[in-house]
Structure 1
C-alpha cells in the first residue's frame, strides 16, 4: 500500500530496454554514454575543490545517479563499473606487468 501511495499504480518503465531500443542512427552509443556518465558520477571520488555547502547537493546527486544506474545495470556488470573507480593503492598487490618484468630480470641473471 505504501509503495502504491508513493510511486503510484503505473508500472515502472524499463529504462534499459528504452535505451537499447532508441533509433540507431541519432542515438548511436547511447547506452554506453549513459553507463559511463552515471558510473562516473556514482562511484568516482568527488572533486576536492567542492565547498562544504555543496557537498550535500553532491551526495544527493551521487545517490540519484546510483539509483538510475542500478535501473539499467546490475549484477556483475554493475560490480565491474564500481571496480573501475576504486583506488588500487594496495602495496601488497603486484601488477601482472611488474611480475613479468621481475621474472624476466631473474632469468637474465
Structure 2
C-alpha cells in the first residue's frame, strides 16, 4: 500500500496536499502530489505520471493554493512551474495561462513544460 504524507493543509482544514515520496536516485526524492477534500475524502487531483514533484505549496485562501511543481529529472520544467489551484471550483491555472479543469491539468502541464 502506498504511504501518503501530508505536505500542506488549507487554513480551514478542508483540503490537504499529500504526496507519496519515492527515491528517484541516490538521495533524490520525488514528491508526486495529490489534492484531497478532507471532508468527503475525495481525491480532487492526482498525477498519473509519478515523475511530477511538489516543491512547495502555499495557501492563498481557504480554497486556493499555489503549487510549485517540477517533473523529474527536471530538464523540461527547469526552475519549476507555478500552478494556482482553486480546490472548490476544481480548476487550475499554470502561470498566466488560461484556467483548466483539474481533470485536464496534467495534460496542460505537459504541453506547457515541453515548449
TM category (shorter chain) comes to under 0.3
Whichever structure has more strand as a proportion of its residues is: 2
Q: What TM-score, normalized by structure 2, do the two folds share? A: 0.20
Whichever structure has more helix as a proportion of its residues is: 1
Rg larger in 1 or in 2? Answer: 1
